[in-house]
Amino acid sequence: MLVQNLLNYALEYPLQFLGILTACLVTYFYLLYPFFLSPLRHIPGPALYRVSYLPILHKARTELRNELLHNLHKQYGPIVVISPSELSFNDHKYLKDIYIRNFPKSHFYNFGNFGQTNAFSMKDNVAHIERRKRMNPLYTKSYVFSQESQTILYEKVTKLTEDIYRTSITAETPDYTSAASPFNKLGKGYILGSGNWLQPKARNLGMEMYGTFSALAMDVVTSFELGPNCSTDFLSNKQDRQIVEAHRQQSSMWFYVTSIPSLWNIAASPAIKNASVAIKQWQYNLFRKAETMVLSEKSSPPSTLKTLLDFGLAGNDVYSELADHIFAGHETTGISLSYVAWELSRPVNLEIKARLHQEMVDVFGEPPKGDSSFSPPLDSLEVIDQLPYLEAFMQEILRVHAAIPGSEPRLVDRKYVAHVGGFEVEIPRQTIVSVQPWSMHRNSEVFAQPDKFMPERWLNQAGETLEAYKTRLHLQKKFMCPFGQGPKMCLGMNIAVLEMKLCVANLYWRFDSKICGDWCEVVSRENSKGEALMGVKHCGDLMTDEEKMIMVDAYTSRPLVDELWIEWYEWEKAGGNS
């Protein structure tokens, strides 16, 4: 009878019925369900984010998501609703549950290269484990310590050291092309219309380091991926580095690649589309040449390419894997090393730099001078890896300046219960869950003064018992996830860390560094807060080094202006040239 009456009313008063139906549906989906009926109703979060997917998508598109989530956790606690079917977590328990217990990846990873998925984008856990199992032996720490791997690292770091000596210290081969920033629209030279801002000097000339470190990282990662005979040589051939800038342009579209791929073609500028075409062609030529060489040689050096071919993969399946490793490997290491150089060049961190240099001197003696200052390199990688202050320094770089500070989304695929405000909340299957390193690394209950760069936090403090230190260190490491956690964590972590340590040890044993005064206003020791910030809202007028080096708020971060200019000096004495 009720149904018949409703049908009669709908036929007699169609507009009124439609209005009432719409009001009922809106009330149910935007009020009753999210606030009173949803399984997530007891989990705190902003009301608007509870009822719509648009707010969090907008924050991600406008590069404000990471800081937003960080502030939401400060306000609401370790679990926050950020969309009708997505939760953000900020506690080591959930880090372990989500990643170490291997929740599957979400639709965020619906992408690939050359039309194929790869280990990073595979959502099936079994297929992912099988692919990684084949590649893992090439990425273990013991393999990086092998003679073949160390030779690659020594050769590349020697080239870097020589490049710095010739380009900056003696100014024999100044890089005025980079000063003009022809491919970087955020660079000072591009904005001013020329590179004349960089004043000629007989010695200690400013040198662009973000691109230089990215070149080092590209040369290293292609050596491991394709074999040392097939790698790039961007450190020697600066004219070829334009492809690195193309990678940065493509990386700026990460939101559309992962969240709204159907709009990529609409949102991408002609320059970005051209960059994507250039990258694919460059990759294909590089991979095809290396593949031909590997297949034609009876005995070729170990490489990811050779391993995948031996595994039975071919063509675009192999190329997709290589493209992912090379893209991620050069980008993240280049970013991290840029923040290494910036932190050690800031006036506020003179003591940190002096202590790091002195550790090298204590172990390896006084550094060489003149032309001999770049070769041979410090080649005791096992010793370098164990240096306590270098280890503390690198931990702090990875904490404060994680190259990937954004969330790694996963899907709940099993019964999972979270405890919130006295409630046991069973998280529905297919709910997206994630932890972001930016917030984990800034938990104020674990890291005192979390926004400050303080390597000493990783060392035993005065008056602290050894037992208390070990307990504190263990807790800090629980909250660290610069390379992810669990079975899907970064495959190239050991290569990246040891490459960076070898690089830092060689550079700061031999050289001192300062921020280039031609490039920006250098914030003095007295005026610096010593903090690392994220997001464009902190950038001011982009006049100071602290403003230019603000981290971009995105899944993968980078310096806001895509450049870093450093002046390099030979050490006059232990303690620096301050």
Question: In terms of domains, do 198 and 337 share one?
Answer: yes
Predicted confidence (pLDDT) at residue 159 exceeds the cutoff of 50: yes
304, part of any domain: yes
Confirm whether 2 is domain-assigned.
yes
115: in domain: no
The verdict on residue 96 lying in a domain is no
For the record, the structure tokens of 7 come out as 């049908």
| Residue-averaged pLDDT of the chain | 92
In a domain, 447, yes or no: yes
Domain membership of residue 478 (yes or no) is yes
Q: Please tell me whether residues 307 and 442 are part of one structural domain.
A: yes
Distance CA 250, CA 258 (A): 13
Considering just the CA atoms, what is the radius of gyration of the chain in Å?
Answer: 26
CATH code, domain with 323: 1.10.630.10
- Residue given tokens 């301050």 in the structure block: 578
Contact assessment for residue 45 and residue 72, using Cβ atoms and an 8 Å cutoff? yes
| pLDDT higher than threshold 50 for residue 576 | no
Residue for token pair 């629980």: 478
**460-495 pLDDT tens trace:** 999 999 999 999 999 999 999 999 999 999 999 999
Q: Residue 149 falls within a domain, yes or no?
A: yes
**DSSP helix/strand/coil, 394:** helix
Sheet containing 565-570: order of strands: 206-208, 565-570, 511-515
In this structure, the answer to whether residues 141 and 26 fall within a common structural domain is no
**293 neighbors 309 (Cβ within 8 angstroms):** no
The pLDDT assigned to 374 comes to 61
Contact in structure between 201 and 207 (CB atoms under 8 Å): no
CA neighbor of 189 nearest in space, from 567, 519, 496, 555: 519
pLDDT of 391-438, one tens digit each? 999 999 999 999 999 999 999 999 999 999 888 999 999 999 999 999
**At 380, is the pLDDT very low, low, confident or very high (cuts 50, 70, 90)?**
confident
Please indicate, yes or no, if residue 263 is contained in any of the structural domains.
Answer: yes
Query: Quick one: which of 330, 343, 405 has its CA closest to 564?
Result: 343
What pLDDT was estimated at residue 192?
93
Domain span holding position 435:
125-570
Residue 46 CB coordination number (10 Å)? 16
Distance CA 208, CA 212 (A): 7
Reply yes or no on whether the pLDDT at 553 is more than 90: yes
Residue 37, CB-side half-sphere exposure with 13 Å CA sphere: 8
pTM beyond 0.85: the answer is yes
Angle (CA) 480-483-486 rounded to 5° is 85
% of the chain with per-residue pLDDT over 70? 97
Residues 25 and 143 in one domain: no
The single residue listed with the structure tokens 């579209």 is 253
Q: Is the peptide bond before 39 cis (omega within 30 degrees of 0)?
A: no
Q: Tell whether 198 and 308 lie within a shared domain.
A: yes
Annotated ligand binding at 516? The verdict is no
Q: How many other C-beta atoms lie within 10 A of the C-beta of residue 136?
A: 13
Residue 153 pLDDT: 94
- Single out the residue of 394, 360, 393, 391 nearest to residue 377, CA to CA: 360
**Domain count of the chain?**
2
Say if residue 529's pLDDT is above 90.
Answer: no
Dihedrals phi, psi of 436, to nearest 5 degrees:
-110, 130
Q: Which of 356, 369, 384, 573 is nearest to 497 (CA)?
A: 384
pLDDT of 225 over the 80 cut = yes
Which of residues 216 and 12 earns the better pLDDT score? Answer: 216
